[in-house]
């Protein structure tokens, strides 16, 4: 399959995972078209400073707009759909915005891919669709129980994708990473917010410390995306990407503090806590389906990934607002 898939379109290519994926595909020999959100400044997100930007074709548009998506996907062999509204707290305030971007946007991509005859569509999901683990580790048969508007919008997009495969034969596969981390991630996410606050001092303002998560370094995540796209056996499936290692928020905070030589003073803030019924207490990935189908395994250990993320953020301190809580 890899030999026939030369033109790759990445939606959300200016973002955290999308920018790393676009670079990975260029270095792997793909002709990459990056679909980035239109902005009057002409910014291409994190790809603005990329050393492979000159090898990427850029298209500016809005995933909510059918026509711009249709034009961007013309001629694509494989489509990686990553454009989305992310961030759980903001979804409590504007659930309609999440539906318009995450559900309507996915529908536009699926319709365009169907029209243009794409050989593969990789739609990005999230482990948040499961809610708190009912058993662990969690395989792809785990029940879906969204506990936030963000998670619900992603679950709806997943079901749309599977319906397009069942109804129209669109060669869709759902990539479901658990918690990705690494350079370029928004400092609204756990690991960057801890690092940014500790770069500014010893005081940490956080929410709940007891939830557990399964973190995978972004380089391993994008290798997982590429492996999923190339595996015919995974078409029509949802496929997990994760490390299989569970850590609590509190444990992660202490490890980051140790790596940074800090004596972290933690202050719990109610505004950083999810509503009680929306808190996802546990996520732990079983990625054996991906491993069996493609041979993928994570290569970057957690401590090494944290060090790389700390170093990257340390060089860019001015970009972060560590004590300003943003939904």
> Tokens 């005081």 belong to which residue?
203
CATH architecture classification, 190-213+245-283+301-319 = Alpha-Beta Complex (3.90)
> How do 172-177 and 120-124 pair as beta strands?
parallel
Alpha-carbon Rg for the chain, nearest whole angstrom, is 19
150 catalytically annotated: yes
Q: Are 19 and 184 in contact (CB under 8 A)?
A: yes
Give SS3 for 203: strand
* Separation of alpha carbons 318 and 248, rounded Å: 29
* Separation of alpha carbons 77 and 82, rounded Å: 16
In sequence order, the 6+-apart residues with CB closer than 8 A to the CB of 149 are: 91, 92, 95, 98, 99
What confidence score (pLDDT) does residue 323 get?
62
Distance of CA 172 to the CA centre of its chain: 17
* Separation of alpha carbons 6 and 94, rounded Å: 38
* Separation of alpha carbons 138 and 2, rounded Å: 29
Q: Are 181 and 217 in contact (CB under 8 A)?
A: yes
Quick one: tokens of 217? 């370094």
φ and ψ at 58, to 5 degrees? -105, 135
Nearest CA among 8, 218, 16, 285 for reference residue 122: 8
CA distances (Å), origin 163, targets 51, 67, 118, 178, 322: 38, 22, 16, 23, 42
Quick one: tokens of 10? 């990445």
φ and ψ at 250, to 5 degrees? -60, -40
Yes or no: is domain 2-181+216-241 CATH 3.40.50.970? Answer: no
Q: How many CB atoms lie within 10 A of CB 210?
A: 10
Q: Which residues of 156-170 are buried (b: 16+ CB within 10 A; e: fewer)?
A: bbbebbbebbeeeeb
Q: How many CB atoms lie within 10 A of CB 248?
A: 16
pTM equals 0.95
Give SS3 for 280: coil
* Separation of alpha carbons 230 and 290, rounded Å: 11
Domain boundaries, the chain: 2-181+216-241, 190-213+245-283+301-319
Per-10-residue mean pLDDT of the chain, 327 residues long, equals: 74 98 97 92 92 96 97 98 92 95 98 98 98 98 97 98 98 98 94 95 89 97 98 98 97 97 84 75 98 98 98 90 60
Residue 325, classified by CB atoms within 10 Å of its CB into exposed (0-12), middle (13-18) or buried (19+), is middle
Q: Are 94 and 150 in contact (CB under 8 A)?
A: no
* Separation of alpha carbons 239 and 177, rounded Å: 8
Q: Are 150 and 88 in contact (CB under 8 A)?
A: yes
Active-site residue (options: 98, 130, 150, 181): 150
């Amino acid at each position: 399959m890899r030999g026939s898939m030369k033109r790759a379109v990445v939606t959300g290519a200016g973002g955290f995972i999308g920018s790393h994926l676009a670079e990975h595909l260029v270095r792997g020999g793909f002709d990459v078209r990056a679909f980035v959100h239109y902005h009057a400044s002409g910014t291409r997100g994190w790809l603005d400073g990329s050393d492979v930007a000159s090898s990427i074709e850029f298209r500016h548009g809005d995933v909510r707009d059918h026509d711009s998506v249709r034009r961007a996907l013309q001629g694509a062999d494989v489509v990686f759909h990553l454009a989305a509204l992310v961030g759980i707290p903001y979804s409590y305030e504007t659930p309609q915005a999440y539906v318009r971007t995450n559900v309507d946007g996915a529908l536009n991509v699926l319709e365009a891919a169907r029209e243009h005859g794409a050989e593969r569509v990789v739609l990005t999901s999230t482990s948040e669709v499961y809610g708190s683990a009912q058993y662990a580790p969690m395989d792809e048969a785990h029940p879906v129980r969204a506990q936030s508007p963000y998670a619900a919008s992603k679950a709806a997009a997943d079901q749309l994708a599977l319906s397009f495969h069942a109804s129209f034969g669109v060669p869709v596969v759902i990539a479901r990473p658990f918690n990705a981390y690494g350079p370029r991630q928004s400092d609204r996410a756990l690991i960057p917010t801890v690092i940014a606050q500790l770069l500014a001092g010893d005081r940490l303002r956080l929410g709940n410390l007891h939830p557990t998560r399964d973190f995978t370094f972004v380089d391993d995540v994008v290798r997982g995306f590429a492996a999923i796209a190339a595996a015919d056996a995974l078409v029509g499936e949802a496929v997990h990407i994760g490390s299989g290692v569970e850590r609590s928020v509190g444990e992660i905070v202490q490890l980051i503090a140790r790596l940074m030589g800090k004596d972290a003073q933690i202050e719990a803030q109610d505004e950083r806590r999810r509503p009680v019924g929306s808190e996802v207490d546990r996520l732990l990935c079983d990625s054996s389906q991906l491993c069996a189908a493609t041979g993928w395994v994570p290569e970057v250990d957690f401590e090494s990934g944290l060090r790389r993320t700390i170093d990257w953020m340390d060089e860019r301190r001015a970009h972060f607002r560590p004590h300003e809580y943003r939904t």
